[in-house]
Amino acid sequence: MLKNNLLFIGLLFSLLTNCKKETDKSLTVNANLEKKDIIETIIKDSSSFYFIDFKNYPVNDKTLPVGVFDSGTGGLTVLKAIVNFDENENTTYGSGSDGVLDFERESFIYLGDQANMPYGNYFSVNKVDLLKEHIIKDTQFLLGSKYYSDADDTIPNLDKKPVKVLVVACNTATAYGKEHIEDFIKKSKLNIKVIGVIDAGVRGTLETLEKDENVIIGVLATEGTVSSKGYENTLLRYIKELGYKGNIEVFSQGGIGIAEAVDEDPDYYNKNLKTPRKAYKGPDLDGDVKIDKTLFDIYNFNFDNGKMLCDSKSVDDCSMIQINDAENYVRYHLVTLMEKIRLSKSTNQLKSIILGCTHYPYLSDEIHTVLKELYDYKTKDGSFLYRPFMKKDIQLIDPAIKTAKELYDFLKAESLFNNQGNIKESEFYISVANKANKNNVIDELGRFTYDYKYGRNVDEIQEYVKNVPFSRKNISNDILTRFQMQIPHVYQLMQEFSQNNKKTKTIPEEDKI
């Protein structure tokens, strides 16, 4: 009996000891998530994955690449404008096209933070601080040397070059993060230029106006960019600084779902669906962002092939409707924008629309098509509904061209052009959810769940993502086909990187671009 009791006590002690070890282990894991400022960590914590030795940073090295980042692949439209830029004579740097691309001898490193996109949603869920942390990590990647060969790689490579200038090719990141990046750069004691797309877009828009013109400017951007008032405030500042005297009105529309459909975010677009799903975040009949059934004739949605999802065979009987196509998202938001203008009873007309998201230029043709339809739309009594409020040929302002010019002017002014480089040495990276991080919540598609993506805490310094080279494993064939058609020069650079760069030699041939 005594022997059995002793055995029982020994077993109980062992269980309690093991339990304590597991508790200690758990506490150790939690200790790793102690709240720390990401900027301070990058600058000071040499034990951190994110640390950069800024004392030995090769500042003013002309041979370094130019860094470009976006929340996804939309920023490639900015890179397209840069690599195709030819407004100067390359030998003398004088103005005027000479048939040789102005950045032909520059190389670029592009990062699309696909795993954490869309950036435009962080404001609506009160997670702007988390967004800023992502933006600083994007910056850290471009300034640093680390990347992974693929999503399953456990040890980062250390042979990526740092960059000599940063281009923030994302409107939302510019609105919420450009000053944050500049503060980070200042604290790190670097002298690196940060170029954002918003100022460039505003200057490009105002150049199309007369100084005394009465007009409406439209801004089509992500919800986060619109909420930041980045374009509106910048427009007001430049209108005053440049002496515009006309009555200039600004109407903004947050394009929920457009960028997400372009990048095939499953919460907004899934080409395999034929009926509505629960996990949908776009406009619908009963949501915060409503589809108005009374405007169905004006929306002119395309219901073919699952491009709109309805829970009934008859559209009139739908109790649930979901948009499932990029052009249909465009239709919804342009009609909503024109309704805002019409109901305002403005006496001005819409002359231009700033494409305030880098994904939107991919849909320029669709936007022009819908605007023409709205210009010609007649009510039952034969009158034009929107024509009094819009010009016939509305200009679409792509901030990318002005961004390219600002980059050129900076490199020229600072004598930072690389005369010996090769644009074919450009590199392309995309973020993927880090499966090795046990804190991450990842769905069956290998992406963060929506609730986890926007529910994470700020200042928990951990590797949410791995930044890996572009490949067919992380970019769909449909998207690659779009690249090939719409940004052919950039697509060729992607292929060059994927097929011939030593950083991608471990990627299987069938996965290369």
Per the omega criterion (within 30 degrees of 0), is the bond before 118 cis?
yes
- Predicted confidence (pLDDT) per residue in 448-477, tens digit: 999 999 999 999 999 999 999 999 999 999
* Per-residue confidence (pLDDT) for residue 33, from 0 to 100: 63
**Cβ atoms of residues 504 and 512 within 8 Å:** yes
**Cβ atoms of residues 461 and 467 within 8 Å:** no
- Report the DSSP pairing between strands 66-70 and 427-433: unpaired
Residue 383 and residue 328: Cα distance in Å, rounded? 25
* Per-residue confidence (pLDDT) for residue 35, from 0 to 100: 82
Nearest to 36 by CA among 458, 404, 424: 458
Question: C-alpha distances in angstroms, 472 versus 430, 436, 464, 478, 507?
Answer: 12, 21, 21, 10, 10
* Per-residue confidence (pLDDT) for residue 416, from 0 to 100: 97
**Cβ atoms of residues 350 and 390 within 8 Å:** yes
pTM assigned to the model: 0.83
User: Domains of the chain, with CATH numbers?
Assistant: 38-196+401-511 (3.40.50.1860), 201-399 (3.40.50.1860)
* Per-residue confidence (pLDDT) for residue 32, from 0 to 100: 52
* Per-residue confidence (pLDDT) for residue 95, from 0 to 100: 80
Give me the long-range contacts of 28-37 (CB less than 8 A, separation at least 24): 32/462, 33/439, 33/460, 33/461, 33/462, 35/457, 35/459, 35/460, 36/459, 36/461, 37/459
Q: Over the chain (513 residues), what is each successive 10-residue block's mean pLDDT? A: 46 42 34 78 96 96 97 95 90 80 97 95 94 98 98 96 97 95 97 94 93 97 93 94 96 96 93 92 90 96 95 88 97 98 97 95 96 97 97 95 94 95 97 96 94 94 97 95 96 98 96 97
Residue 359 and residue 222: Cα distance in Å, rounded? 10
